[in-house]
C-alpha cells in the first residue's frame, strides 16, 4: 500500500503537465490531478495486474479532464469558429497557397530533440483557447471528433474547422520557429 502510494505520487509531475497543457488553468489542472490521485489510491485493486501505472493513471485523468472541460463549456460556450481570416492569410483568391509549404527535411529527427518539444509547447500555447482545447482533445487525448463536438457544444463542421485551424496554425508556427532556423 505504502509502495503503491509512492509510485502514484511519483507520477504527479507528469500528470500535472498533461492536465496543464489540456486545461490551460493551473487550478483546474491541480484539481483534476488531485481527483485522479485520490481515485487511483482508492482503486488500487483495479490496477492489480496491469503493467503500466502511467497509462492507467492517464486513463483516469482523461475522464477528470473531460469532466472539467464539460463544466467550463457549460459556463462559457464556444464561439462559432471562423477560419476565414486564416484562409485569407494562407491562400490567394483563387485558392492557391500564398507561400506553398516547403518540405521539412527529416522532420522525425526533431522527435529525438527535447528542444523541439519546448517549441511545440510554445506553439500550442499561442493557439486560441477553444482551438487548442479541441486540438488537444483530438491529438493529445485521442478523443473521437463526435465526443469533442459534444463536450464543446459544436456541430461536426465547426469541430473540423477548429481542428483545421489548429493544425494550420501549428504548422506555420513550427515552420517559423523550428524548421526555418
* Contacting residues toward other proteins, per CB under 8 A: 14, 17-18, 21, 54, 87, 90-91, 94-97, 100-104, 107-108, 110-114, 116-117, 120-121, 136, 138-141, 145, 159-160, 163-164, 167-168, 170-171, 174
- Would you state the cell numbers that stand for residue 12, as one nine-digit string? 504527479
Task: Select 68 or 134, whichever has its Cβ closest to other proteins.
Answer: 134
Q: Show Cβ contacts of residue 54 under 8 Å, excluding neighbours closer than 6 positions.
A: 11, 14
- Would you state the cell numbers that stand for residue 62, as one nine-digit string? 482523461
Q: At its nearest, how many Å lie between other proteins and the CB of residue 117?
A: 5
Whole-number Å distance between alpha carbons of 170 and 55: 27
Instruction: Tell me, letter by letter, the H, E, C secondary structure of 60-92.
Output: HHHHHHHHHHHHHHHHCCCCCCCCHHHHHHHEC
- Would you state the cell numbers that stand for residue 52, as one nine-digit string? 503500466
Task: Select 140 or 150, whichever has its Cβ closest to other proteins.
Answer: 140
Task: Select 136 or 152, whichever has its Cβ closest to other proteins.
Answer: 136
Q: At its nearest, how many Å lie between other proteins and the CB of residue 171?
A: 5
Calculate Rg over the CA atoms of the chain: 19
Task: Select 2 or 92, whichever has its Cβ closest to other proteins.
Answer: 92
Q: At its nearest, how many Å lie between other proteins and the CB of residue 90?
A: 7
Amino acid at each position: 500500500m505504502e509502495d503503491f502510494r509512492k509510485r502514484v505520487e511519483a507520477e504527479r509531475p507528469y500528470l500535472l503537465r498533461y492536465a496543464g497543457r489540456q486545461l490551460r488553468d493551473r487550478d483546474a489542472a491541480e484539481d483534476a490531478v488531485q481527483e485522479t490521485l485520490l481515485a487511483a489510491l482508492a482503486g488500487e485493486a483495479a490496477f492489480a495486474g496491469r503493467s503500466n501505472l502511467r497509462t492507467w493513471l492517464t486513463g483516469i485523468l482523461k475522464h477528470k479532464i473531460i469532466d472539467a472541460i464539460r463544466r467550463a463549456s457549460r459556463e462559457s460556450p464556444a464561439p462559432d469558429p471562423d477560419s476565414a481570416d486564416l484562409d485569407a492569410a494562407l491562400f490567394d483568391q483563387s485558392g492557391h497557397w500564398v507561400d506553398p509549404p516547403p518540405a521539412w527535411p527529416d522532420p522525425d529527427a526533431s522527435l529525438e530533440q527535447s528542444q523541439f518539444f519546448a517549441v511545440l509547447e510554445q506553439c500550442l500555447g499561442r493557439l486560441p483557447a477553444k482551438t487548442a482545447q479541441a486540438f488537444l482533445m483530438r491529438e493529445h487525448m485521442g478523443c473521437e471528433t463526435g465526443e469533442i463536438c459534444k463536450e464543446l457544444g459544436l456541430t461536426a463542421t465547426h469541430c473540423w474547422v477548429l481542428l483545421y485551424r489548429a493544425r494550420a496554425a501549428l504548422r506555420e508556427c513550427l515552420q517559423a520557429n523550428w524548421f526555418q532556423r
